[in-house]
């Protein structure tokens, strides 16, 4: 279900069996008062504004819309074409073969699946997204779909020796693509595909923004760690086979998060995606610098790198967000399915902590925390009503149980006028 909820000047009162603000415990028999597309107040029982038009949503939980902090919409046409693998480099090989057979991301055969993917995300409760793009066709699509986003323009080049012109050329394309709700920023792909010169050039441009924001895949496969520590292993062989290996390249001799923290690439404002292979010391370092770790559990298993060590992520204190990754490594873009897997990986974690990663964590990581992520007065009323069994006593736990789109109603209310700070 989905549908806009309009409201008059007195606003709209949304009632439900549960209201889950995320930044505090659930409210039984709760209500949310929405005026002109923003949350005016929330509370319990009959202590509600009497003059507003009321909607009773019944056996449901109202919660903030979800934030998918990492996907690749341009890869949506690869749905059902890239098989799960036990070997990350084999999965990468499948992806590369398919992508070189199909270069044009603005082809209708790629655009239609992208538009469908955005609609699917929305129908499963996602209200904002961090999207990694290469061809930069997603910004216009996201803007026209009314989906607030940060589009990370992904740059690669293991052989790049002078990064500044590469980054300047990329950034020159961004201004016409950005809009009120869609920010476009440069982002390095990963330590095995980006030279130190390109990393530092991207870093310098990212740093110059009023609110620095970028994203990088880090510590996804054991092969990446081996390359950085020893200079050898499957990634070296693959880069040689691709003809991009450089004999003057020296391994940093450290783990990937240490390497990128030392370079100044990972700072507060960096989305560190995956982190499956990171040591406890590296996780502690990410927590100390204030980076956000974006976990994509179903993708990690699909590409053969194993389930993420979610309990270690939580214990480290690092800021956590959640992504689905692309339809080349996930069966759908439903963040509730990621939450269900996270519950299995961290059975002892407080339910609210996991839900917070998919709401507040993602909103903060994308610089959207003034508008999204929790139910608080002043924030945008990008709300979900999720149908739950009557009589439950722990709605937050129920939300981790594998919510499917037919149970989700997106209560995006009319009248919102916002944008990036």
Distance CA(350)–CA(336), nearest Å, equals: 16
Closest approach, Cβ 147 to Zn ion, in A, equals 18
One DSSP character per residue, 123-178 reads HTTEEEEEEEESS--HHHHHHHTT--EEEEEEE-BTT-S-HHHHHHHHHTTTGGG-
Closest approach, Cβ 74 to Zn ion, in A, equals 11
Q: Which residue is nearest to Zn ion (CB)?
A: 325
Closest approach, Cβ 346 to Zn ion, in A, equals 22
Closest approach, Cβ 169 to Zn ion, in A, equals 23
Footprint of Zn ion on 317-356 (CB under 5 A): 325
Distance CA(10)–CA(52), nearest Å, equals: 5
Nearer to Zn ion, 218 or 398 (CB): 218
Nearer to Zn ion, 226 or 325 (CB): 325
Q: Name the burial class of residue 54, with classes exposed (0-12), middle (13-18) and buried (19+) by CB atoms within 10 angstroms of its CB.
A: middle
Closest approach, Cβ 239 to Zn ion, in A, equals 19
Nearer to Zn ion, 20 or 66 (CB): 66
Distance CA(146)–CA(182), nearest Å, equals: 9
Closest approach, Cβ 420 to Zn ion, in A, equals 23
Nearer to Zn ion, 338 or 396 (CB): 338
Closest approach, Cβ 150 to Zn ion, in A, equals 14
**359 token code pair:** 């709401």
Q: How many residues bind Zn ion (CB under 5 A)?
A: 1
Nearer to Zn ion, 217 or 319 (CB): 217
As a residue count, the chain comes to 421
Angle in degrees, CA 369, 375, 378, rounded to 5: 65
Pairing mode, strands 60-64 and 382-387:
antiparallel
Nearer to Zn ion, 327 or 408 (CB): 327
Nearer to Zn ion, 74 or 325 (CB): 325
User: What is the biggest distance separating any 2 CA atoms in the chain, rounded to whole angstroms?
Assistant: 73
Please count the other Cβ atoms lying within 10 Å of the Cβ belonging to residue 349.
18
Closest approach, Cβ 393 to Zn ion, in A, equals 38
**Which residue bears the tokens 């930069």?**
136
Closest approach, Cβ 297 to Zn ion, in A, equals 13
Nearer to Zn ion, 325 or 338 (CB): 325
Footprint of Zn ion on 281-300 (CB under 5 A): none
Q: Name the burial class of residue 115, with classes exposed (0-12), middle (13-18) and buried (19+) by CB atoms within 10 angstroms of its CB.
A: middle
Nearer to Zn ion, 131 or 412 (CB): 131
Distance CA(25)–CA(19), nearest Å, equals: 9
For residue 181, how far is the Cα from the chain centroid? 16
Footprint of Zn ion on 35-94 (CB under 5 A): none
**148 token code pair:** 């607030």
Chain positions contacting Zn ion, by CB under 5 A: 325
């Amino acid at each position: 279900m989905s549908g806009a909820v309009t409201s008059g000047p007195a606003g709209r009162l949304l009632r439900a069996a549960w209201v889950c603000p995320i930044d505090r415990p659930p409210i039984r028999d709760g209500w949310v008062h929405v005026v002109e597309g923003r949350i005016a107040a929330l509370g319990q029982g009959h202590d509600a504004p009497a003059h507003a038009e009321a909607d009773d949503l019944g056996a449901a939980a109202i919660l903030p819309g979800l934030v998918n902090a990492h996907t690749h919409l341009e890869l949506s046409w690869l749905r059902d074409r890239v098989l799960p693998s036990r070997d990350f480099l084999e999965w990468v090989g499948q992806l590369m073969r398919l992508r070189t057979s199909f270069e044009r991301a603005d082809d209708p055969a790629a655009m239609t699946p992208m538009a469908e993917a955005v609609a699917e995300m929305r129908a499963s409760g996602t209200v904002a997204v961090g999207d990694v793009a290469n061809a930069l066709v997603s910004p216009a699509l996201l803007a026209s779909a009314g989906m607030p986003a940060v589009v990370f323009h992904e740059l690669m080049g293991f052989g790049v020796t002078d990064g500044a012109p590469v980054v300047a050329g990329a950034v020159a394309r961004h201004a016409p693509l950005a809009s009120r709700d869609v920010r476009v920023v440069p982002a390095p792909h990963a330590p095995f595909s980006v030279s130190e010169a390109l990393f530092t050039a991207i870093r310098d441009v990212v740093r110059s923004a009023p609110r620095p924001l970028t994203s990088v895949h880090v510590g996804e496969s054991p092969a990446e760690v081996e390359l950085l520590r020893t200079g050898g292993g499957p990634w070296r062989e693959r880069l040689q086979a691709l003809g991009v290996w450089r004999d003057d390249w020296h391994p940093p001799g450290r783990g990937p998060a240490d390497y990128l923290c030392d370079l100044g690439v990972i700072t507060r404002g960096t989305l560190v995606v995956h982190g499956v292979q990171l040591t406890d010391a590296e996780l502690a370092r990410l927590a100390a610098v204030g980076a956000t770790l974006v976990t994509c559990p179903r993708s990690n298993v699909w590409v053969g790198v194993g389930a993420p060590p979610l309990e270690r992520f939580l214990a480290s204190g690092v800021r956590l967000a959640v992504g689905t990754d692309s339809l080349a490594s996930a069966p759908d873009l439903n963040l509730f399915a990621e939450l269900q897997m996270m519950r299995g990986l961290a059975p002892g974690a407080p339910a609210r902590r996991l839900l917070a990663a998919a709401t507040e964590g993602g909103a903060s990581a994308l610089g959207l925390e003034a508008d999204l992520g929790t139910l608080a007065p002043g924030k945008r009323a990008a709300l979900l009503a999720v149908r739950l069994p009557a009589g439950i006593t722990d709605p937050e736990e129920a939300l981790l149980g594998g919510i499917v789109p037919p149970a989700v109603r997106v209560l995006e209310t009319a009248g919102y006028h916002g944008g990036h700070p």
